[in-house]
Amino acid sequence: MIPFLQTALLYVIPFLLVLGVVVTVHELGHFLAAKALGTKIDRFSIGFGRAIASWKDKGGVEWRLGWLPIGGYVRFAGDENAASIPDAEDLADMRRELVAQGRGPEIARYFHFKPIWQRATIVAAGPIANFLLAIAIFAALLMSFGEWVLPARIAVVEPDTPAAAAGFRPGDLIVQAAGRPVTRFDDIREVVTVRANVPTEFVVDRGGQRVTLNATPAWRTTDDPVAGRQRIGTLGIRPAQGRDDFVQVHYGPIEAVVRGTDRTWRTLQTTIYYLGRMITGQVHADELRGPLGIATVTGKVAALGAEGSDGLGDMLLRSGVNLLQLAALISVSIGFMNLLPVPVLDGGHLMFYAYEAVARRPLAAKVQAAGYRVGLALVLGLMLFATWNDLQRLRVFNLFGGLFS
């Protein structure tokens, strides 16, 4: 019983909390944009499946808590029928039905009768909410705690490494990497980790002079305390990491928001770049993580935060801060993934609206339905593949092999 409770506390509960916050904010983005544009909303659900609690507000919106807390959704008026993927004929049928029921004045409030720009705004509001959540989390943490910054000054250049071949020297201060300004050593890791086998330009300050160096990060397999065993790009440099080398930086509200926005943008850039390399086959797809992998990382992040804590309050604070940072990173990823032009995702809806704007009529319902089926198959296939990677990474099949050998 005790091991089960420990697993629940360290893995399941943190995972559900992080995912719940990220998905709820995403759906709130759709909801608030729809409300602001006068759209009729039937339901806002946190979680799927049968409701364990529900109530209606004064506007007639049903708020629901589903028993399966792994997502959520907003249901607009009219979504319960075939008009969820409407063409011109479906819209005409819905209009006639509403008029026949004496509900003609409500037509303008139905999502599918809204102008294209309003529908696109409502759809895009979900991913935008994810990006705003990440900015808010980063800014709040920076404003509350500040951060310890390790300057990007090299202390050690390992022999027979890309850095040594490129001419890096101890004492060099890296000020630019791959065109990005560098202010801390973490900026270097962010660039190098995803650029293995990619020639990359660096600019260093060497004795007051700017020197340009070109290096190609090499693959290295490492055991990260959070991410586990993974292949990443490395240069072969190490910074000075004594207590006096770290600089504590405090931020005011405006500075924290600017820094939070910059961190969110950098995370998005890195995500897009890494995904592009994965699609083109430059990075092994087995690095892709699914729900099990995210749950494992979430548990390790919570456990890492609890290490060295002084009492329950300190443990909850440390773990909470770590989980908030992870939630911000996941929120950026979910916001970006939802903007991909794949039917069933928000980006797929935006793609259909772009067609409608050009053709001046919705895409045929049959074509939309086929697109949604293909999109759903792609998303489910990707999730299954990522879950397979998770099981391989967790060595589940090795365990089964031991049981039956």
Nearest to 28 by CA among 77, 60, 73: 73
C-alpha 128/C-alpha 360 separation (Å) is 26
**Token digits of residue 94:** 């819905």
CB atoms within 10 A of CB 356: 17
Q: d(Cα 226, Cα 129) in Å, to the nearest integer?
A: 27
* Distances in whole angstroms, Cα of residue 36 to Cα of each of 21, 46, 370, 401: 22, 20, 32, 56
The CA distance from 129 to 114, in Å, is: 21
* Residue 201: strand pairing partners: 214
Q: Is 49 helix (H, G, I), strand (E, B) or coil?
A: strand
Our answer to whether residue 27 is catalytic in this structure is: yes
CA pair distance 241, 246, nearest whole angstrom: 7
| Three-class DSSP labels, 188-206 | HHHHHHCCCCCCEEEEEEE
What tokens does 260 get?
Answer: 């939070």
Burial (CB count within 10 angstroms: exposed 0-12, middle 13-18, buried 19+), residue 33: buried
Q: Which two tokens stand for residue 387?
A: 């879950």
Q: Give the number of other CB atoms < 10 A from CB of residue 43.
A: 18
Nearest by Cα to 155 from 179, 174, 183: 174
- Selected catalytic residue, list 27, 147, 255, 356: 27
Please state, in angstroms and rounded to a whole number, the distance separating the CA atoms of residues 202 and 342.
Answer: 36
* Catalytic positions: 27
